[in-house]
Every structure is written in C-alpha cells, then in structure tokens.
Structure 1
Amino acid sequence: MVRAADFDAAVSLPPGLDISAIRRAIEYIEKELADLVELYFEQANVFSALVGMFGTKTLHQYSQFEKNKHPDIAAQRFPDLCRRRRVGRLKPNDCLESKASKRPFAIQSHFDHAGWYIVWRYLVDPPEQIEHGKPVIIWRVDVVFLNKDDWKYEGSTAGAGSGGRTHTFGVREPATKLEGTAVYKRKDIVVKGGKPVPVNGD
C-alpha cells in the first residue's frame, strides 16, 4: 500500500510535479507490472525500462510535465518529459528524466545532461512476502537535479561481435548526491548489504 506517511513533503521537486502525481505513478507501476514478473527474470534490463516508461506515462497524464516527442526520429531522446507550456528553448529546469533501478543509489544514463531526474527504486518479490498482492514494489523514489559535472563517463564493455554494455554515464558519489532527495520511502524496507530488504528480513 502506498502510504501518505511514507512521503516527504520537504523534498524539493521541480515546479509542476507534486506528490499526488508521484503517488499515482507508483500505484500504476506496481499494478501494471504485477503480471510481468517473469520478464524480470528473463530480461531484467527490459523490465527496468518498463518501470521508467510507466512512470513517464503516468506523469504525462497527471503532472505539468508532458512526453518529449521527437517526430524526426523513432527513439526518444533526453528528456523523457518536459514542462508544459514552456516558453522558448528547452532549459535544464524544464527537463524531467524518468529512470528505474533495483539498486539503492546508482543512477546510470546514456547521456550526461543537466536536468531533473526521478528514479523509481523497485524490488521484485514473487512470493509477496512483503505485501500481499504486490510482487513488484516501488520502495523509494528519488527526485534530484543533476548538473553535467555530477556525471562521470563509465565507458563500454561492448566488443565487436561479443555484445556487452554500451557507453554510459554514472553519477559521482551517488549516495552523497541523493541525500535528502527521497520524496517517497517505505518505512518497512531498509538497505542491507547493498540491497533493499524488509525491516525484519535477512
């Protein structure tokens, strides 16, 4: 259950984004992905992409941000969302990128752009030991403004004919950078050994 007590109204949010929209997005993500748990075990990267996409879809519907469409290309580029009724050229404060991660602090991107980032931290619990009826749980949501110099280049592990990860950027000292940015955090989940686990779990 998404509880009001798990939100922190003191966290800075970009103008046009509020707790109500974030709450709707959490509920939508958890509901829609409940039937796609098998995909997580087959293609975890695709599953994470869906978490971010469903977050984008809901914020487009319920916030003052809208999907940033690029009619000249097939794929989306940064940012996922931009402020509605903005005037002039897109500025960093008008940008909102929707990311997903099963890790407690890391943020990775194919770009090192400045702008607002919303990160849906999720875990998958097929036995539903944490909450009945919730095999997918958003346990924390970070909202943070990142500048270009907050990113570091992480290179690529891709090789000719061998696959691997493409070029990415990661946030420098993410745990420090994300301090005080959790607009939502379930009180029954803690981080142990670098992983989110139930308060009374192992």
Structure 2
Amino acid sequence: MARRDDFDRSVPLPPGLTVMAIEKAVDYVEREAAEFVEVYLEQANVFSALVGIFAARALDANSVCEKHRHTDLAQTRFPDLKRRGSGNNPPPEHCLECKASKRPWAVQSHYDHPGWYIIWRYLVDPTCSLEPGRPVIIWRVDVAFFERSDWKYEGSRAGAGGGGRTHTFGISNPAAKLRGKAVYARSDVAVVRSKAVPRNGV
C-alpha cells in the first residue's frame, strides 16, 4: 500500500488534484492489478494498459478529474481525464493523461498533445518481498506538464518485410525532464541498470 512518508507534497500537480487522491489511487491500482499478474508474464504491454486503466478509474472516483462520460469517446481520444466542469474540449492545463510503465524514465504516447501527464511506475514482485500479499507495487508516480515541443516522433519499423511496433511519440531526455517531478517515490526501491528492484535485494 502507499507509504505516506514517501510522498513529496512540493511537486506541482494539475489544478485541483491532491496527494490524497493519488495515494488512494496507488492503493487501488496495487489491489486490482494483483489479479492480473499472469497477464504481465504473458504480455507486459497489455498489463501496463491495465495499470493505466485502473489508475484513471481511481482518479475519476476520488479526485476532481473525470473520464469522458461517452464510452466510445473515452476509449479513443485524449485526454484520459479532465478537470470536472472544464467542458468537452478542455485546455491543456485541465487535461490529464494516465500512463503506466515498468521502465524508470521512458514516457511514450500515440499522440504529442500538450497537457498534464501522470506516469505510474510499477514493478511486479511475485514473491511479495516488499509487501505481503502485494505482487504489484507502484514504486513511483511522476506528474509533469509536457508541451508539444517536448515530444519526439518515433517511427514504426513495421513494413512488408516484417512486423514492428506502431509509431509512437516519446519524451526527449525524459530523465532530465522528470527530475523533481516524482510526487511519490518509495524509498525501499532502487533503480539498478535501468530496472526497479527492492532496495534490500541490491
């Protein structure tokens, strides 16, 4: 579960979003994602999508952020969440996109929209060495506002001769841009060779 001492309340957040709402979301995501560890073992990118979905659901229930009430639009358009009362076409300052990743710094998206982004960094710990009964741990939550100029295009390698992932956009120099943006970072997790691991196992 979320460790209150590991929150940094000095990190800027989208208008109206609170640390308490993020804390509740961390607990919810860890609890719900625990049922899908087998999905992670089969296809990690699908599991990341599930983590993002659970996070958006939790913030919709516990914060001033809300999902689009039209189901079809909610599944196909930016942003995942908007500030309540901001209208059907909210300005970037009232947009919040949820991302999830097992990687410590990367931020990827199918679009290069400006707005607030919240990235849920997770690790899967089948042995529950960090917490009993918690095989999925949210170990860091980054919150940052990105301009369109922060994104760089990453083309697809798919073609007639073979497969490849679809095109995406990535944040240029993400480690630098996310410095000081971690509203939550567990002190018992370390990054070793670009992988998050329990600090007591280093």
Q: TM-score range by the shorter chain?
A: over 0.9
AA of the residue aligned to 1:199: R
AA of the residue aligned to 2:39: L
Runs of 4+ in structure 1 deviating by more than 4 angstroms, as ranges, are 69-74
Corresponding residue of 2:159? 159
CA RMSD of aligned residues (A): 1.6
Q: Distance in 2 between matches of 1:103 and 1:183?
A: 17
Is 1:189 the equivalent of 2:189?
yes
Does the 8 Å contact 1:95/1:116 carry over to 2? yes
Alignment of 1:109-124 (within 5 A): 109-124=109-124
Structure 2 unaligned runs (5+)?
A: none
Q: Distance in 2 between matches of 1:142 and 1:183?
A: 6
Corresponding residue of 1:37? 37
Does the 8 Å contact 1:21/1:59 carry over to 2? yes
AA of the residue aligned to 1:145: F
Does the 8 Å contact 1:107/1:174 carry over to 2? yes
Q: Deviation of residue 190 (structure 1)?
A: 1.1
Per-residue displacement from partner, 1:14-73 (whole Å, max 9, x unpaired)? 112101110111101100111210110112111000000000001011111110355665
Structure 1 unaligned runs (5+)?
A: none
Q: Distance in 1 between matches of 2:193 and 2:10?
A: 28
Q: Distance in 1 between matches of 2:83 and 2:5?
A: 28
Identity rate of aligned residues, in percent? 60
Q: Normalized per residue, which structure has more helix?
A: 2
Q: Distance in 2 between matches of 1:55 and 1:121?
A: 11
Alignment of 1:1-202 (within 5 A): 1-69=1-69, 75-86=75-86, 89-160=89-160, 162-202=162-202
Does the 8 Å contact 1:29/1:51 carry over to 2? yes
Q: Deviation of residue 84 (structure 1)?
A: 0.6
Q: TM-score by structure 2 length?
A: 0.95
Does the 8 Å contact 2:33/2:136 carry over to 1? yes
Aligned residues: 202
AA of the residue aligned to 2:181: T
AA of the residue aligned to 1:77: R
